Amino acid sequence: MPMSIVCDGNEAAAWGVARAKPDMVAVYPITPQSSLAEYISQFVADGIIQADLMDVEGEHTVLSVLQGACLAGARTFTATCGQGLAFMFEPYFRTPPLRLPIVMSIVTRDGITPQCVWGGQQDAMTVKEVGWIQMYCEDVQEVMDTVIMAFKIAEHPDVMLPVNVCHDGNYLSYGVSKAEVPDQEDVDAFLGRKNTNWHVALDPERPMAVDPLTGGAGGAGPSMFVRYRKGLCKGMQNALRVITDVHADWARRFGRPWAPLVEEYRLEDAEYAIVTIGSMTGAAKDAVDEARGKGKRVGLIKFKTFRPFPLKAALSSLSKVKALGVVDRAVNFGWNCGPLYQEILAALYHLRECIPAISFIGGLAGSDLTVDKFNMVIEETEAVYRGKPGPTEPIWLNEKD
Amino acid sequence: MGKAYYTIAIQPEKCNGCNDCMVACAQKKEGTTNPSDARLSIELGEEALAKGFALCRQCAMPQCVMVCPSGALRKDEETGIVSVDETECVGCRLCTLACAYAGIALHPKKQKAVKCDLCGGDPTCVKSCKTGALSLVTAGDLYRRWGDLEDLFVPGMSFCLGCNSELIVRHTLRRVGSNTVVATPPGCVAGVGAVGVNGFTATKVPVFHPLLTNTASMLAGIKRYYNRIGREVTMLALAGDGGTADVGFQSLSGAAERGEQIIYICLDNEGYMNTGAQRSSTTPFGAWTSTTPVGEALKGKTRDAKPLPVIMVMHNCEYVATACSAFMEDYYQKLEKAIEASKKGMAYIHVFSPCPTGWRFLPSKLIEVGRKAVASNMVPLWEYSREGESLRFTQPVDNPIPVEDYLFLIGKYRHLSREQIEHIQDMVNERIRILKALVKE
């Protein structure tokens, strides 16, 4: 029988880790991830997790020891956020091209400066271009389920890539709700046998040189480099199919059908839609319900998988509406908008139709994205749908709080 | 690697000119007590160290053998002894002209070539020497033993001429063996292609590029997993001083504190020699580097080297040692201890690694640079084991030579002022004082 518990998102992630039975977990504490590291440590102390727990001197080493263990054949997990992720970036950047199926939670946190220990997705969004799979969760149960699914996705032979399971600092890390912990034997059957280093290993029984110098002004080096790069791109594209299949398998076995890539909410007859990512989606759905109650034909498009960008799934949803309000919990300083918004604009190009879209930025530095904020998002989006010229700059939702 | 053979070595400073060796040789070989009948000759000169030696070296490629027109001379492949077959010798003296060491002569009565035959492996002269000036060198024995082990790096790696690191890494991996994972972070060893270039590798065991910053961490992760699944695999780091003392120090420090089971060899060439000889924290005071240049306003580095091996002693390591390729026997003994210690925790060896290219000296001076570094106490050789809880000098220097005798061998110190030399001498004295304080009587 699955065990029902009341827990926050950090504990839920720790239960997901426990059920996935990793060989090694490395941790270094950082707010708001710390309690996740503590839960895992306690689970190891209690024998619930039988992994080698490496409590090391910093995030850089956290990911480095996991890379080493993974190259020797281990299943591995860690979690971090914010400055920890920034400090980890050197090995982080290298994990996808090494094709190491490491799973790491990012308990998303806003960036410094000013000094900030509260939620926001600036950390995860800043590292989105280097080849990690990124999935963003909406609630506590989805955190637990996605951590388990992440191992199956990462270790799939057509993927072999690291996965970030992102859950919002504060709102999911500390937000408590009821959750169900699946039975161990069911998870064992779901995950199957691990094989993390069939393709690249540091093992005297299979000697190989890992990561030789590759390049030059021409010839074999750079062309080999291109093959590595294309292989990584292919793995990312394969991941879209694998993520979908794994979610379907999960739904069949455990009865919880999470949208794998993009979720549509009340979109079928919608004229315009708001676009969300992460835990803000709960309040956004309530606002959509209220607006629907008032007769507004508004829908919602939620991105769960952000990397690789699920272009096909996104176009299928985006093509159903005529105006968009995209809400980001992070800033793209280069384009003066939210990062998800910029991605949506790139996707819209494929529709060969120019529809109005507004960038909303909110929920920074821990601020709450309430139903009222989404009411405003819906109003502004409806206005551009009705023909009002859209703003040329982002709308900052918490600017006047 | 070719075989290494025994030879008679002389330490001139120990010789008092007593002639006992020559008398003993003459007695054994000719039945006389006349030193001039001996097959070695030691002449005391005017100055204390100006002694002349005439003695066969049992050369690896003996010129005497090569020039002999009658095939009377041969080198025994088993023992290495160069011997004369008197029945073949025609007394032509070509061998005596070919030998640069005056190690072969014409027997005045027999008119045949005559020379030292090591008394078959137990030389009488060595046994007769009361001061220990003569010895049968046994280091070759070690070379021979290790030489039989497979070189696990391929030939033709692009190390610079006379590279100390090449000498060290080849010997090290031979001994550590193939059940090993080797980490070579960016630096000279990786730069010459140890991990490989464009799909080809130069190492016959699992090898990888860690980041410059995470060598100890990655090895720790690998080792922990093998321990978990019950496999004993050796972890070996061959890293430079930058990846160890500078940007790699955090991960090294963490791994040492946690007692990770790693053999960590730091090849300290006192800077970033692979990328054009820039300063590192182990660059000594006063040294020229490409980022501590010498000009009107600047005269080389303004800070002393970070004393990393001593810092590692204070880091929960199981074993810490310093080493130098001019004392290979010393290094071999330390490597043996490091291999054992790494079964319990971190074993750290800091190898002084003079760099002809980046330091500006001739490759042929490599071993001399090493010897004088040790003789001057610039590079004291010692070891520390956690079990013994004490530091021990393995090549104690009772009467160190002045540091300038070492410094002026090397181009990077050519510009030093008298004040800078004094600073270095004071630093050396101070560091020896600190090391001695760590020795438990």
With tokens 């000119």, the residue in question is: B17
- Cα(B229)–Cα(B213) distance, rounded to whole angstroms? 27
> Looking at residue B209, what is its pLDDT?
97
Residue A95 has pLDDT above 80, yes or no: yes
Q: How far apart are the first and last CA of chain A?
A: 46
- Cα(B284)–Cα(B352) distance, rounded to whole angstroms? 12
pLDDT average, residue stretch A275-297: 98
CB atoms A61 and B217 under 8 Å = yes
- Cα(A27)–Cα(A57) distance, rounded to whole angstroms? 9
Do B98 and B219 have their domain in common?
Answer: no
Band (B140; pLDDT cuts 50, 70, 90):
low
Lowest mean pLDDT among A98-102, B21-25, B97-101, B402-406: B97-101
CB atoms B228 and A57 under 8 Å = no
> Looking at residue B3, what is its pLDDT?
60
A29 close contact with B: CB closer than 8 A? no
Alpha helical stretches, state H, A192-279 = 220-254
> Looking at residue B49, what is its pLDDT?
46
Buried b (16+ CB within 10 A) or exposed e, B226-258: bebeeeebbbbbbbbbbbbbbbbbbbbbbbbeb
> Looking at residue B79, what is its pLDDT?
85
Please state whether B74 falls in left (phi above 0), alpha (psi between -120 and 50) or beta.
beta
Do B253 and B381 have their domain in common?
Answer: yes
State how beta strands B382-385 and B319-324 pair.
antiparallel
Burial class of residue A315, CB neighbours in 10 A (0-12, 13-18, 19+): middle
CB atoms A71 and B222 under 8 Å = yes
Does the complex come out with an ipTM higher than 0.85?
Answer: yes
Do B98 and B225 have their domain in common?
Answer: no
Which residues of chain A have a CB within 8 Å of the CB of B197?
Answer: 212-214, 221
Do B135 and B165 have their domain in common?
Answer: no
pLDDT average, residue stretch A224-253: 98
CB atoms A68 and B217 under 8 Å = yes
pLDDT average, residue stretch B217-231: 98
Angle between helices A59-72 and B249-258 (to 10 degrees): 70
Do B167 and B31 have their domain in common?
Answer: no
Band (B144; pLDDT cuts 50, 70, 90):
low
- Cα(A235)–Cα(A74) distance, rounded to whole angstroms? 20
> Looking at residue B44, what is its pLDDT?
67
pLDDT average, residue stretch B402-411: 97
Which residues of chain B have a CB within 8 Å of the CB of A91?
Answer: 211, 214
Residue B47 has pLDDT above 70, yes or no: no
Residue type, A6: V
Per the prediction, chain B carries an average pLDDT of 92
Whole-model pTM? 0.86
Do B293 and B359 have their domain in common?
Answer: yes
**Which one has a higher pLDDT value, B1 or B77?**
B77
What pLDDT digit, counting tens, does each position of A11-60 carry? 999 999 999 999 999 999 999 999 999 999 999 999 999 999 999 999 99
Do B252 and B171 have their domain in common?
Answer: yes
Q: Are B40 and B134 in contact (CB under 8 A)?
A: no
B2 domain residue, yes or no: no
Residue type, B31: G
**Which one has a higher pLDDT value, B213 or B135?**
B213
B273 domain residue, yes or no: yes
Lowest mean pLDDT among A104-113, B232-241, B384-393, B419-428: B384-393
Residue among A69, A208, A213 whose CB faces B197 most closely:
A213
Q: What share of chain B is helix, strand, coil (3-state, %, to 5)?
A: 35, 15, 45
Range of the domain at B96: 8-141
Residue A212 has pLDDT above 80, yes or no: yes
- Cα(A64)–Cα(A56) distance, rounded to whole angstroms? 10
> Looking at residue B4, what is its pLDDT?
65
Q: How far is CA A293 from CA A265, A267, B192, in A?
A: 15, 15, 71
- Cα(A202)–Cα(A72) distance, rounded to whole angstroms? 6
B66 domain residue, yes or no: yes
Burial class of residue B96, CB neighbours in 10 A (0-12, 13-18, 19+): middle
CB atoms B251 and A64 under 8 Å = yes
Alpha-carbon distance B279 to nearest alpha carbon in chain A (angstroms): 23
Instruction: Provide the percentage of residues in chain A whose pLDDT is more than 90.
Output: 99
Site from B153, B218, B261 to mutate, A interface, most A CB atoms within 10 angstroms: B218
With tokens 């980022």, the residue in question is: B291
Burial class of residue B155, CB neighbours in 10 A (0-12, 13-18, 19+): exposed
> Looking at residue B112, what is its pLDDT?
94
Q: Are A204 and B233 in contact (CB under 8 A)?
A: yes
SS3 labels along B283-313: CCCCCCECCECECCCCECCCCCCCCHHHHHH
Closest CA to B240 of B108, B73, B345, B355: B355
- Cα(B113)–Cα(B117) distance, rounded to whole angstroms? 12
CB atoms A224 and B228 under 8 Å = no
- Measured in whole angstroms, the distance separating CA B41 from the mean position of its chain's CA atoms is 29
Which residues of chain B have a CB within 8 Å of the CB of A74?
Answer: 221, 225, 228
Residue B239: its H or E element: strand B234-240
CB atoms B220 and A213 under 8 Å = no
Q: Which residue of A has its CA nearest to B195?
A: A212
Number of H helices, E strands in chain B: 15, 16
Lowest mean pLDDT among A87-91, B43-47, B336-340: B43-47
**Does a cis peptide bond (omega within 30 degrees of 0) precede residue A113?**
yes
Band (B59; pLDDT cuts 50, 70, 90):
confident
**Does a cis peptide bond (omega within 30 degrees of 0) precede residue A114?**
yes
The domain defined by A263-396 folds into Rossmann fold (3.40.50)
CB atoms A213 and B206 under 8 Å = no
CB atoms A209 and B198 under 8 Å = no
Residue type, B132: G
What pLDDT digit, counting tens, does each position of B249-293 carry? 999 999 999 999 999 999 999 999 999 999 999 999 999 999 999
B259 domain residue, yes or no: yes
Which phi and psi angles does A39 have, rounded to 5°?
A: -60, -45
> Looking at residue B369, what is its pLDDT?
97
Residue A294: CB partners within 8 Å, gap ≥ 6?
A: none
Instruction: Provide the percentage of residues in chain A whose pLDDT is more than 70.
Output: 100
Residue A138 has pLDDT above 60, yes or no: yes
Alpha-carbon distance B156 to nearest alpha carbon in chain A (angstroms): 16
What pLDDT digit, counting tens, does each position of A158-183 carry? 999 999 999 999 999 999 999 999 99
Residue among A69, A207, A211 whose CB faces B225 most closely:
A69
Q: Are A13 and A165 in contact (CB under 8 A)?
A: yes
- Cα(A177)–Cα(A11) distance, rounded to whole angstroms? 11
Size of interface A-B (CB pairs under 8 A): 148
- Cα(B342)–Cα(B218) distance, rounded to whole angstroms? 16
Per the prediction, chain A carries an average pLDDT of 97
Do B221 and B352 have their domain in common?
Answer: yes
Do B275 and B351 have their domain in common?
Answer: yes
Concatenate the DSSP letters of all residues of A349-401 into one string: GGGT----EEEEE--GGG----HHHHHHHHHHHHHHHTTPPPPSS-EETTTT-
Residue B135: its H or E element: strand B134-136
Residue A222: CB partners within 8 Å, gap ≥ 6?
A: A214, A215, A216
Q: Which residue of A has its CA nearest to B228?
A: A52
> Nearest 5 degrees, angle CA A255-CA A262-CA A283?
85
B146 domain residue, yes or no: no
Residue among A24, A94, A209 whose CB faces B203 most closely:
A209
Would you list the domain boundaries of chain A?
3-198+238-254, 263-396
State how beta strands B390-393 and B382-385 pair.
antiparallel
- Cα(B4)–Cα(B366) distance, rounded to whole angstroms? 20
Which phi and psi angles does A135 have, rounded to 5°?
A: -120, 135
With tokens 């810092």, the residue in question is: B311
CB atoms A211 and B181 under 8 Å = no
Look at residue B271 and give its three-state secondary structure. Answer: coil
CATH assignment of the domain containing B123: 3.30.70.20
> Looking at residue B142, what is its pLDDT?
61
Q: Are B228 and B218 in contact (CB under 8 A)?
A: no
CATH assignment of the domain containing B286: 3.40.50.970
> Looking at residue B45, what is its pLDDT?
62
Do B128 and B198 have their domain in common?
Answer: no
Homologous superfamily assigned to A3-198+238-254: Thiamin diphosphate (ThDP)-binding fold, Pyr/PP domains (3.40.50.970)
Which residues of chain B have a CB within 8 Å of the CB of A206?
Answer: 206
Residue B193 has pLDDT above 90, yes or no: yes
Q: Strands of A9-51 (E only): list them.
A: 24-27
Do B36 and B65 have their domain in common?
Answer: yes
Which phi and psi angles does B91 have, rounded to 5°?
A: 70, 30
Residue B173 has pLDDT above 50, yes or no: yes
Residue A154 has pLDDT above 90, yes or no: yes
pLDDT average, residue stretch B321-342: 95
Look at residue B268 and give its three-state secondary structure. Answer: strand
Residue B400: CB partners within 8 Å, gap ≥ 6?
A: B375, B376, B377, B428
What are the tokens at B311? 């810092």
> Looking at residue B46, what is its pLDDT?
55
Number of domains in chain B: 2
Q: Strands of B293-388 (E only): list them.
A: 319-324, 347-352, 382-385
Do B123 and B199 have their domain in common?
Answer: no
> Looking at residue A165, what is its pLDDT?
98
Q: Which of B141, B163, B192 is the last residue of a domain?
A: B141
Q: How far is CA B161 from CA B158, B358, B361, in A?
A: 9, 12, 11
Band (B17; pLDDT cuts 50, 70, 90):
confident
Burial class of residue A354, CB neighbours in 10 A (0-12, 13-18, 19+): exposed
Concatenate the DSSP letters of all residues of A143-193 into one string: HHHHHHHHHHHHT-TTT---EEEEEETTTTTT-EEEEEEPPHHHHHHHH--
CB atoms B211 and A221 under 8 Å = no
Residue A232 has pLDDT above 80, yes or no: yes
B1 domain residue, yes or no: no
Residue type, A144: M
